[in-house]
Amino acid sequence: MGNGESGPEIGLVTDSTASLTAEDRERLDVEVVNLYTIVDENQQREDEIEDLGQFYREVIESPTPSKTSQPSIGDFIDVYGPLLDQGKEIVSVHLSAAISGTFEAARQAADQLEAEGRGGERIHLVDSRATAGALALTVLATSNALREGLGVQGAIERAEAVAETQQNWILVETLDYLQKGGRIGGAQAWIGGALKIKPIITLDETVYPVERVRTMSKGIQRIKDIATEKAAEGTEYVWLAQHIQAPERMEELADYCREVFGTEGIFMNEMSTILGIHGGPGLLALGVAPAEHVGTGR
């Protein structure tokens, strides 16, 4: 990925919670560092999981709570090293440092590569303050900035603008998975009887409660209402819809968003298994970000 007419080549890196497809990765010219799932004491790198249906059956049936693990410093070095060896600068955009040690592992990898004289000082880290679709939008903005020749600083500024202005709403079947995984954040007060309701949460550095509904159908309607409200604001937004083991729900939301926003969605796919462990099957998400910050490429 170039940097205009002159200057060093710039590599783009993110992590697997961005939930990018193989096509997305190629289109955005981005390298991905994988996180790990731990189900019934069996640890797998995210890209090693092939059968999602079987994976979630194992999560549900496991006698112990399933867990996730951040990449190791070595995992980052394995991705950073070849890019640095090619003389590239690197912009590395990752999920919120408030909910995962992934960002810190990336920083330590950069420090180690710098100490070893391998160019770690050429690695520039960005905390997206989110994950999933919001992280993907931040990566897209970074990729667009690099393609436009804005260089490292311009790309970082675009990424940080999206991190600050993106909004996401996540409808989950239950808070049980977030509670078991220790990622409950500000929604802790909803534990107890609230496990019987269908919460809508948001991720802004950490998990925050938005509102509660009694049924998934009411929750889906509320997400649609939010889309209507955002479309009416007058700001041009890019939008996305994602799910966990609920493609029909996602398609229903996407069809609605196409109508109210009058545009095609940017990312419409299943969230990563890392997020599936914490959010649980049935999850539905809507995300938006101002088009002016994301840029022109899709």
- Is residue 121 over pLDDT 90? yes
- Is residue 159 over pLDDT 60? yes
- Is residue 163 over pLDDT 80? yes
Same domain as 84, residue 17: yes
Q: What gap in Å lies between CA 117 and CA 109, rounded to an integer? A: 12
Q: Which two tokens stand for residue 247?
A: 């493609």
Tens digit of each residue's pLDDT (9 = 90 or more) over 250-266: 999 999 999 999 999 99
Q: Would you place residue 203 in the very low, low, confident or very high pLDDT band (cuts 50, 70, 90)?
A: confident
Q: Would you place residue 279 in the very low, low, confident or very high pLDDT band (cuts 50, 70, 90)?
A: confident
R_g of the chain computed on alpha carbons: 19
> What integer pLDDT is reported at residue 87 of this predicted model?
97
Q: Which of 163, 194, 224 is the last residue before a domain boundary?
A: 163
CATH number for the domain that contains residue 257: 3.30.1180.10
* Domain boundaries, position 244: 165-294
Q: Report the side by side order of strands in the sheet with 123-127.
A: 30-33, 10-15, 89-94, 123-127
Same domain as 169, residue 119: no
Report the number of distinct structural domains present in the chain: 2
> What integer pLDDT is reported at residue 181 of this predicted model?
52
- Is residue 186 over pLDDT 50? no
Q: What gap in Å lies between CA 96 and CA 103, rounded to an integer? A: 7
Same domain as 240, residue 189: yes
CA angle 124/18/233 to nearest 5° reads 95
Q: What gap in Å lies between CA 287 and CA 238, rounded to an integer? A: 8
Give, for 238, the enclosing helix (H) or strand (E): strand 237-243
Helix/strand/coil (H/E/C) assignment for every residue in 115-182: HCCCCHHHEEEEECCCCHHHHHHHHHHHHHHHHCCCHHHHHHHHHHHHHHHCEEEEECCCCHHHHHCC
Same domain as 20, residue 64: yes
